[in-house]
Structure 1
């Protein structure tokens, strides 16, 4: 069942859980996420990150994601993640995406504010909610280092930003990072609580892979309603392929793809159980 970002975050707010948002650059990822969500009977978000354009062009994978969401037995939002170009966002909206994230976090505050307002105005004519980011993680989407530490989100600035842009969800910076963690992340979860209380909006955790179950639970209690998760799911798929190739002489590629899908599905289910308090 295809729903928009506002609707799925409302479900999370009402029942005090976080919706898992998973990048799905191929069919195996889509199946892994939806099969796990349907088994647990929980809502979920299928995401396409702009940086995956070379891996899976939006024009090709986007309609597949939307159709899969429509056929799903649980509420599914199809979301554009870390979009830095408004014309790219327009493509997603025209395809039928029901959530978009404009990412102006590397821009000066005034420019991020102005572009986010444009993104909100653009999405108004569609059945679509808008997420934005304020502050900056220590790494960009995909795990590439920014060359500096995180820029933590100021709570008062967040209030002004949310009020002036009219966004539906905010991704603050509070110590997470994209990609594979080399050491245990130290999260400022009190900052999450303060920003959630001051803005009154559902908050989003980016760089969600590799966070401990305890920190997930505290973050959800403090106002996180969407958790982005991909790196460790994808890593699990790679390891499954390596294990199969070491165990037997594989002839057909689809056997490798299915092995990856099954292990990614198990990893997604494990994450969803934590996010949904199951």
Structure 2
């Protein structure tokens, strides 16, 4: 069933768990996320990242994600990830998305607030949830949904890049967003060194904003790091790179051991591998990550 992000995260906040948001640039990844959620009886978020328009355009993939959500036996939000401007936000809403992210974090603070307020006014009038970003969420340059390759960098960034808890309070109060993507030490893509997460900062952000916190760059952490983040207010965890990597490795293994190769078999192999990886993530976020292990069950 199609629901809003606000509905999912309100329940997650009450139950002290997080909902996984899985970027789905292909049919296989979308099916994997839905099947994993249904098999576990857990809510899920299907996301389309604007940067993935080069793989499958929003106007093609968007309606598929919405239809999957409507037919699902579990609550599903369909979310635009890292929308860059109002035009693409409007496009996603017109398609039927129940949630959008406007990412104006690269702007100065006043322009970020102004841009987000414009999106909130448009989206809330249409019953659509809004996520926005404050701080800088960097990329490892390896497999991240916001990059297509590049050099390896450390996930440790100067403190100036992190979200300021006091500014976060003002940002939420001015914009009226439903969820805040905060920077506290995670990165997009594949970790090349051990992550260094600032949990004290995260707790202060959550306490100040009284809203669900979103963790981008959510794949590749340890179970304990997920638990600690959820206990400190993370209610939505974006997860992509490691699931995509699992699918790719499964296809490679299949090619290495199979004589007669057909492309359609690759898609089936990739879907199963992605689903298995997504199930592990959902179990950590929704079923075991929070204080109530049954809270995320439907």
Q: Is TM more than 0.5 here?
A: yes
Between stretches 143-152 and 156-165, larger displacement belongs to 143-152
Are the counterparts in 1 of residues 52 and 145 from structure 2 also a CA contact under 8 Å? no
Tell me the CA shift for residue 141 of structure 1: 4.3
1:45-194 correspondence runs (5 A):
45-139=45-139, 141-143=145-147, 149=157, 151-194=161-204
Shift of 1:153: 0.6
* 8 Å CA contact 1:82, 1:141 repeated in 2: no
Asked if the contact 1:24–1:30 (Cα under 8 Å) also holds between the matched residues in 2, the reply is yes
Instruction: Please give the TM-score of this superposition, normalised by the length of structure 2.
Output: 0.90
Deviations 1:41-92 (A, max 9, x none): 0000000000001101000000000000000000000000000121011000
Match of 1:206 in 2: 216
Contact 1:137 1:149 in 2 (8 A): no
- 1:232 aligned residue: 242
User: Offset at 1:180?
Assistant: 0.5
The C-alpha deviation readout for 1:83-139, integer Å capped at 9, x for no partner, is 012101100000000010100111111111110001101102222100000000222
8 Å CA contact 2:203–2:233 kept in 1: the answer is: yes
3-state DSSP class of the match of 2:54? coil
The whole-number CA distance in structure 1 between the counterparts of 2:192 and 2:120 is 36
Higher relative contact order, chain-length normalized (CA < 8 Å, sep 6+)? 2
Distance 1:141 1:166 in 2: 27
8 A contact 2:83–2:101 mirrored in 1:
yes
> In structure 1, what is the Cα distance between the partners aligned to 2:89 and 2:251?
34
Does structure 2 retain, via aligned residues, the 8 Å contact 1:104–1:116? yes
Alignment of 1:221 with 2:225, yes or no, is no
Cα shift readout 1:238-271 (whole Å, capped 9, x = no counterpart): 0000000000124321111000000100000001
Deviation at 1:149, TM superposition (A): 3.0
CA–CA distance in structure 1, aligned partners of residues 109 and 259 of structure 2: 55
User: 238, 247, 270: which is aligned to 2:257?
Assistant: 247
> Partners in 2 of 1:118 and 1:149 — Cα distance?
30
